[in-house]
Amino acid sequence: MRIGVLTSGGDCAGLNAVIRAVVKRATLGYGWRVFGIRHATHGLLKRPIDAVELTTDSTAGIMTLGGTILGTTNRGDPFAYPGPDGQTVDRSHEIATGYREFGLDALIGIGGDGSLAILRRLAQLGRWNLVGVPKTIDNDVAATEHAVGFHSAVNAATEALDRLHVTAASHSRVMVLEVMGRDAGHIALTAGIAGDADVILIPELPWSLDAVCAKIESRRAQGRMHSLVIVAESVKAPEGEARTYHDAHGNVRYGGIGEVLAREIGQRTKAETRVTVLGHVARGGSPVPLDRVVGSAFGVAAVDLIAEKRFDRMVAWHDRQVVDVPIEEAIATYRAVDPEDTLVHTARGLDICLGS
């Protein structure tokens, strides 16, 4: 058997733990050969195919490394691939046939909901035997409690809050931390609780400037002159729109709500207010133990699914164990924070302002 593995979409910590586990299980457990496809599906677009054989020797020691040894991309949708003249072209057929030309028997795709949706379409087109592994710092893939990378991102955001806490207290300031998470507020909510934030704003819950400023003012009235605010990047500004901008390639990106919030809080409360945008810092660095463990468990389980010839499925974490679900189910919707989520309840119980 020759199996392929690729990482697709934004990088995160823990991808190499998955790759290492796939290699160990496939080579030592089943005697198969494993090939790492470089830069997501772009490797299958190239001729010759851009791939490298992975062995236990070549992957030794990679678990602690952030990012992905295979490279990745969240650009270049194969079905609308950017051409030189600004037009898009459908190059899906070239990628789909790359799998057969390279002689693969199965492919493990490590990606978020967007990448898994694209991989599934390619798999249907090229009759691939596909197994998915969920990863994303946003933790918004449906049907799994953990996606690889989330806990490391939470760790980075929590550490940022811890550091901001000290300087906020020293200067009697309000510190606003803007964190990634795309359309979901999981990072802000989880790190906000762990990092002792006074205000947590997430896109799933309505908020008002009045409520946020009232919280800060009530703390000041009690002699607590500093406050910590964490805001998810897709939270809507007071005028009702999320802060987005177009990058040089025309892609819509979130960014800027932290600055808006800091300015408004400063003007209203007269508190000295500063903003920090954590950005891609949350994606880098060595994976925390939970991402190493979840990534390893997912890698082993993904190879086992191939051995059982159960394809078009994604490994998932559910109720303390690894299970598998149809990829179709995992990509049908994204997992936002449920307003009834236990962590929402926890935050309210800790007297954290959630915006209202």
Binding residues for ligand F6P (CB under 6 A): 10, 74, 112, 136-138, 180-182, 233, 253-254, 283
Question: Do β-strands 33-37 and 2-7 pair in parallel, antiparallel, or remain unpaired?
Answer: parallel
**Residue 309 to residues 35, 102, 132, 229, 302: CA-CA distances in angstroms?**
19, 20, 13, 48, 11
Closer of 115 and 227 to ligand F6P (Cβ): 115
CB of 153 to ligand F6P, least distance (A): 8
Q: Which is nearer to ligand F6P, 253 or 263 (CB)?
A: 253
Q: 280 is written with which tokens? A: 């891609």
Q: Which tokens in the block code for residue 311?
A: 């394809």
Q: Give me the half-sphere count of Cα atoms (radius 13 Å) on the Cβ side of residue 182.
A: 17
Among 171, 200, 177, which Cα is nearest to 272's? 171
Residue placing its CB nearer to ligand F6P in the complex, 10 or 299: 10
Least gap, CB of 100 to ligand F6P (angstroms):
30
- CB pairs under 8 A, 24+ apart, for 318-323? 318/143, 318/144, 318/145, 319/145, 322/297, 322/298
Burial environment of residue 218 by CB neighbours within 10 A (0 to 12, 13 to 18, 19 or more): middle
Strand partners, 107: 4, 130
Q: Which residue is nearest to ligand F6P (CB)?
A: 180
Minimum Å distance from CB 179 to ligand F6P? Answer: 8
Closer to ligand F6P by Cβ: residue 190 or 273: 190
CB of 280 to ligand F6P, least distance (A): 6
Q: Which is nearer to ligand F6P, 281 or 293 (CB)?
A: 281
Nearest approach, Cβ of residue 178 and ligand F6P (Å): 11
The residue whose two tokens read 């492919």 is: 107
Q: Exposure string (b/e) for 278-291, b if CB count within 10 Å is 16 or more? A: beebbbebebbebb
3-state secondary structure of 351: coil
Q: Is the dihedral of CA 26, 28, 33, 34 positive or negative?
A: positive
Question: Residues with catalytic annotation?
Answer: 138
Cβ distance to ligand F6P smaller for residue 38 or 182: 182
Q: How near is the Cβ of 271 to ligand F6P at its closest, in Å?
A: 28
Least distance to ligand F6P, CB of residue 288, Å: 17
* Comparison of 9 and 36: residue with beta carbon closer to ligand F6P: 9
For tokens 């990863």, name the residue.
Answer: 135
Q: CA of 225: how far to CAs of 87, 130, 199, 216, 236, in Å?
A: 54, 55, 14, 8, 27
